[in-house]
């Protein structure tokens, strides 16, 4: 069995196609433990409301058969404030997909799924699930919904109204197959799907995410992307160390940006489009275009100097 395309690349390049929804549906159904049918892919980069606002840039935002929202993010580079980023992303998505003038009951249920390739926080598990509960501070009882609320909202508990978070820390996975969800995580870590795997969607993934079946140009760009990931990992290790938060936050942000700019240079030299580079480096499209212009200017200056 040859290597398969990484899910982060596939999300951006392949899985947005409705013909390939069954792969994502299989993964999400195994993770969330109920049947998922994707109805549509939603805009995953929201417009700013004003100059002080932030873009809500996520890898994939989908709506399922129950009109619920599911955010999927694959993150390779370590971010100390990643959890706050998740909180911002879910809040922004819920607000932006609520009709003006609608009652609060119309707020959509949202699931946030993060596949991270760094050691987020502290903990020895590789799979985490976060929900919201309310517990009495005096008697310790959990707040429940009334029967009327259950009927009106079609849920059983307050946690069913709030966002749910799933964190998969891929490097922590020990390659032991305990259930069909582990088969998916094995693929996320090893880029391989064994013939014995039975998880929903995996056999379709095995067929459609085979590197050898990619067009030559697309395969070259994919290999360049993998090389860039290795390069980024090397930069983080050599410049910042593992697990250290030395220096001021602004200095760290600037260092990360310099690494992204260098990465963008390499991607442009490999022939990738500015739009794809912006999506993969977290630089804005205008920043990438500025890099293109600077590279053109440098080339022109170099030619004049000869």
Strands across the sheet containing 60-64: 38-42, 60-64, 69-75, 110-116, 164-169, 127-130
Tokens at residue 254, please?
């600037």
- Each residue's pLDDT tens digit in the chain (306 positions)? 557 888 888 887 888 888 889 999 999 999 999 999 999 988 655 444 444 445 445 689 999 999 999 999 988 777 888 999 999 999 999 988 888 788 999 999 999 999 998 888 889 999 999 999 999 999 999 999 999 999 999 999 999 999 999 999 999 999 999 999 999 999 999 989 999 999 999 999 998 888 878 888 888 888 887 787 776 656 554 544 444 444 444 544 555 677 778 777 777 776 677 877 777 777 888 888 888 888 777 666 655 555
Rounded distance, CA 260 to CA 109, Å? Answer: 34
**Which token pair is 140?**
């310790």
Write down the pLDDT at residue 243. Answer: 44
Q: Give the span between the Cα atoms of 85 and 59, in whole angstroms.
A: 13
pLDDT attached to residue 304: 57
Structure pTM? Answer: 0.72
pLDDT for the residue 49: 45
pLDDT value for 282: 74
> Can you read off the two tokens belonging to residue 197?
């795997």
The pLDDT assigned to 194 comes to 93
């Amino acid at each position: 069995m040859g290597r398969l395309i990484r899910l982060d690349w596939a999300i951006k390049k392949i899985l947005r196609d409705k013909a390939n929804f069954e792969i994502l549906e299989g993964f999400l159904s195994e993770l969330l433990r109920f049947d998922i049918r994707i109805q549509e892919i939603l805009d995953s980069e929201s417009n700013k409301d004003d100059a002080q606002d932030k873009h809500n840039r996520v890898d994939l935002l989908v709506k399922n058969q129950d009109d619920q929202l599911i955010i999927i993010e694959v993150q390779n580079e370590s971010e100390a404030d990643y959890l706050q980023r998740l909180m911002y992303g879910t809040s922004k998505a819920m607000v932006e997909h609520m009709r003006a003038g609608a009652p609060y009951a119309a707020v959509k249920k949202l699931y946030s799924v993060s596949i991270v390739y760094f050691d987020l926080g502290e903990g020895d598990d590789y799979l985490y699930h976060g929900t919201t509960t309310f517990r009495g501070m005096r008697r310790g009882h959990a707040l429940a919904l009334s029967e009327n609320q259950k009927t009106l909202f079609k849920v059983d508990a307050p946690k069913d109204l709030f966002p749910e978070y799933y964190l998969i820390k891929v490097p922590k996975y020990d390659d032991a197959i305990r259930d069909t969800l582990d088969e998916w995580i094995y693929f996320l870590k090893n880029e391989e799907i064994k013939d014995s795997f039975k998880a929903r969607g995996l056999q379709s993934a095995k067929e459609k995410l085979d590197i050898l079946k990619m067009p030559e140009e697309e395969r070259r760009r994919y290999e360049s992307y993998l090389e860039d990931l290795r390069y980024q990992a090397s930069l983080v290790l050599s410049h910042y160390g593992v697990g250290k938060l030395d220096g001021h936050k602004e200095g760290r942000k600037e260092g990360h940006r310099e690494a992204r700019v260098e990465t963008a240079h390499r991607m442009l030299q490999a022939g990738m489009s500015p739009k794809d580079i912006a999506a993969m480096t977290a630089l804005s499209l205008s920043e990438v275009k500025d890099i293109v212009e600077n590279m053109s200017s440098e080339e022109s200056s170099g030619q004049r100097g000869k």
